Amino acid sequence: MLAHERTVSPHTLRAYRREIADFAIYLAEQGVEVRSVDHLQIRDYLGELYGRGLAKASVARSLAAIRSWFQWMAKAGHVTSNPGALVATPKLPKHLPRVPSIEQMNHLVDTASSAAAWPERDRVIFELLYGCGIRNAELVGLNVSDVHWAREVILVRGKGRKQRYVPLGDAAADAIRAYLPSRQIKLRAKASEALLLNLQMRGTGRLTTRSVGRIVKQISLAKGLPAEIHPHTLRHAFGTHMLEEGADLRAIQELLGHERLSTTQRYTQLTVGQVTQVYDRTHPRAK
């Protein structure tokens, strides 16, 4: 159902399959049938996960999978209700994303190709992740036809089959134009709709999210940035730096493809200093 109706990512499918299988093994060991599971037994299972040393985030992911499973079974008539709905989600600590400064990001993007295996392609990766703020999965899912040159936008396919148009800046557009001829050479007259090609697949396969993560980390380390840099860091930097430069939070929400404004509001916690400066500079009662 998840694969065909909600088109979740392969990573999510693997995670849910693993979590539900582990819960099923636990029920079998306890001699409990699925139809008779109640919320107390789910709580006991979460307690066992804590006993194994799992972090709150991992336990919360297991609960999310179990809830979704019982929700589907209830709709299909296999159980009468969803006992997972009665179990509270573990309260997760708020880890604010640490992002490089604007100066660090400009240096990284401007010089990324000098440390790249495929300079033209890898420059596009950095320009789109930071310049457009798209997700890793959205990046590798781009097709050549998704670049709308006349409108200066790219069509991005986000979570849950949702699509949005994201402005294509001059730097990103120049990077794509410089990359397309080398892409055509790698194809060697073969056909591929994927914008970003994988060198490991003789130039015809689509680049994977794992490959993008490896490329971003290797180049970032080569440029002196911390080891924890990953593709999502560039997306966070996109939103944070736009907010620091005065962009409207709702506009950032649209660009990032966030369903809830509360998700976008995480970026406001990173820029308290900027907000204070604006208040001191503009409000008549601040001084």
**What amino acid positions are annotated as catalytic residues?**
135, 159, 232, 235, 258, 267
CA distance 265 to 273: 15
Report the 10 Å Cβ neighbour count for 100: 22
Burial 125-137 (b: 16+ CB within 10 A, else e): bbbbbbbbbbbbb
H or E element in which residue 163 lies: strand 163-167
